[in-house]
Chain A
Amino acid sequence: MSDNIISFRMTNKENCFQCFRPKVEAFGEEHGLPKKVIFHLTLVLDELVTNIIDYGYADFDEHPIDVAINLDEEIITIRLEDDSEPFNILEAPEPDLEAPLEERDHLGGMGIHLVKNMVDGIAYAREDNKNVLLLTKKFNKNCCSDDE
């Protein structure tokens, strides 16, 4: 089996989804992760990186976004590091899922809501002017049907 960790750097000027998706899928397939878990990892990274790029920068410069994904038995850890404006996902407001949809003017927050529901642990720190997000996801290699 190959290394249990992948890490790579993207920038806010790239099409990040097209950059990280093949890497995440190749990593997942190599380590026999269920398809559903690979989808969750892809969605989580997509939502977080989109959020950083859309709201995180006060200038028009190129900025690095660093990702590391580590697999230890049945626990996946994702580390995401960026130098955008401070953003603590743990303090982000939740969307009002009870309000009738036709009355909701503001549809924001759903991406962060999806992220919070697709991982098991979230830790945030602001270090050296960087947002450092550590996400953990547990899974059972044998539990998930991969029929899809």
Chain B
Amino acid sequence: MGMIESNENGITILAIDGNLDAEGTQLMEEKVVGLLEGGETSLLFDFSGLDYINSSGLRVLVLAYQRLKKTSGKVAICGIKDYIQEVFEVSGYDKIFPLYTTKEDAVSAM
């Protein structure tokens, strides 16, 4: 799993490449918890390079959502592949997380 952090218009973007298997998910969770504890309020997950996610990966996204909701923060996801979007649909999370096709769309909408 590769993870690149960047910032655009005050939004922290985490671009995740490869697999959110148990190991990748743990790394992402540590990163997300660190950002939230540092006071981050806008988080965009760029999943255009993401090939795999499971329920543990979804749980980290929910954790970010729950914490940011309390502080009126924002969380969104962009660039998700079709077969991964299906996981969001089956879990019902497609109705909870704003999903954008491109990073540019997400940044301008957030």
Contacts of B83 in A (CB 8 A): 35-36, 39, 148
Contact: B54 with A102, CB < 8 Å? no
Contact: B90 with A118, CB < 8 Å? yes
Within 8 A of A (CB), among B44-66: 52, 54-56, 58-59, 62, 65-66
- How extensive is the interface on chain B, given as a class? 20 to 34
Q: Flag whether A47 is at the interface (Cβ < 8 A).
A: yes
Contact: B59 with A110, CB < 8 Å? yes
Q: In this complex, what residue of A is CB-closest to B84?
A: A39
Contact: B56 with A50, CB < 8 Å? yes
Q: In this complex, what residue of A is CB-closest to B53?
A: A43
Q: Flag whether A137 is at the interface (Cβ < 8 A).
A: no
Within 8 A of B (CB), among A93-148: 97, 101-102, 104, 107, 110-111, 113-114, 117-118, 145, 147-148
Number of A-B contacts (CB under 8 A): 59
Q: In this complex, what residue of B is CB-closest to A38?
A: B83
Q: In this complex, what residue of A is CB-closest to B97?
A: A101
Contacts of A113 in B (CB 8 A): 90-91
Tell me whether chain B's interface is mostly helix, strand or loop, or mixed.
Answer: helix
Q: Which of B21, B58, B66, B96 contacts A110 (CB 8 A)?
A: B58
Number of interface residues of A (CB under 8 A): 26
Q: Which of B62, B84, B86 contacts A101 (CB 8 A)?
A: B62
CA distance A47 to B91 in the complex (A): 14
Q: Flag whether A42 is at the interface (Cβ < 8 A).
A: yes
Residues in B lying within 8 Å of A, measured CB to CB: 21-22, 52, 54-56, 58-59, 62, 65-66, 69-70, 81-84, 86-87, 90-93, 96
Residues in A lying within 8 Å of B, measured CB to CB: 15, 17-18, 21, 35-36, 39, 42-43, 46-47, 50, 97, 101-102, 104, 107, 110-111, 113-114, 117-118, 145, 147-148
